[in-house]
Amino acid sequence: MARLRTGVLISGRGSNLQALIDACTARDYPAEIVLVIANRADAAGLDRAARAKIPTRVVAHRGFTERAAFDAALDAALREARVELVCLAGFMRVLGANFIDAWRDRMINIHPSLLPEFPGLDTHARALAAGAKRHGCTVHFVRNEVDNGPIIVQGSVPVLPDDDADKLAARVLAVEHRAYPLALRLVADGRVRVRGDSVEIDGRPGPVRLDAVA
């Protein structure tokens, strides 16, 4: 079985990267991680990749005076590794339109909210402040608008009466670690088709929903 050659872009601890690494160890998993790129040399996720014997690169954004040059360096590294799909896993840089267009429908992201609710940062505190009853995560194809694009998988948890941002974040993170490997599997298996602003999965309207009870 030819496995989908996947590149993962990170900026920090790499917990979602680890979930993808773990998923890829299954013999029947249809993707393999062939490169991990960080924009920070101190990103802890690089150590996770190294322990899994996955090649790593550091493309430090501070080494570039223009975003286009940074994006071009990322693109070159991905193409050199013959990457077919890009996963953004806590990658804290906004990518330019040319890069996004070049990888259209071949780049996915995970965001810690039920998009379109709460794009951007501080999603857990904002969900609590808004009185949300459920909160969660979204895996979606990347588009030029930040935290926007056809949704593949959403996972949700209830917001509990004693929740603070940290407690809620921890429960959402557990769902993220299920949702991202599932989304990558669906894409790598060829079961996802982009239709305008949404997806079809196995010929039916998406997204897939994972609903945790606690």
In angstroms, the CA 78 to CA 105 distance is 15
Q: Tell me what pLDDT residue 146 has.
A: 92
In angstroms, the CA 91 to CA 203 distance is 31
Could you tell me which of 58, 73, 67 has the C-alpha nearest to residue 10? Answer: 58
Q: Tell me what pLDDT residue 133 has.
A: 97
Report the top-level CATH class of 112-138+150-214. alpha beta
pLDDT in tens, 183-205: 999 999 999 999 999 999 999 99
What's the pLDDT band for 151 if we cut at 50, 70, 90? very high
Any catalytic annotation for residue 135? no
Please state the rounded mean pLDDT for residues 25-49: 97
pLDDT in tens, 4-29: 999 999 999 999 999 999 999 999 99
In angstroms, the CA 95 to CA 196 distance is 21
When comparing pLDDT for 115 and 213, which is higher? 115
pLDDT averaged over every residue in the chain: 96
In angstroms, the CA 9 to CA 115 distance is 21
Could you tell me which of 121, 11, 104 has the C-alpha nearest to residue 61? Answer: 11
Backbone angles phi, psi at 162, to 5 degrees: -95, 15
Whether the pLDDT of residue 214 is over 70: the answer is no
- Provide the residue ranges of all domains of the chain, joining segments of one domain with +: 1-103, 112-138+150-214
Please state the rounded mean pLDDT for residues 54-74: 96
Distances in Å between the Cα of 50 and the Cα atoms of 47, 54, 97, 208 are 5, 6, 31, 32
Q: Tell me what pLDDT residue 33 has.
A: 98
Per CATH, 1-103 and 112-138+150-214 having the same topology is answered yes
CATH no., domain 1-103: 3.40.50.170
pLDDT in tens, 69-123: 999 999 999 999 999 999 999 999 999 999 999 999 999 999 999 999 999 999 9
- Of the candidates 61, 111, 124, 135, the residue annotated as catalytic is 111
Q: Tell me what pLDDT residue 213 has.
A: 61
Q: Tell me what pLDDT residue 16 has.
A: 98
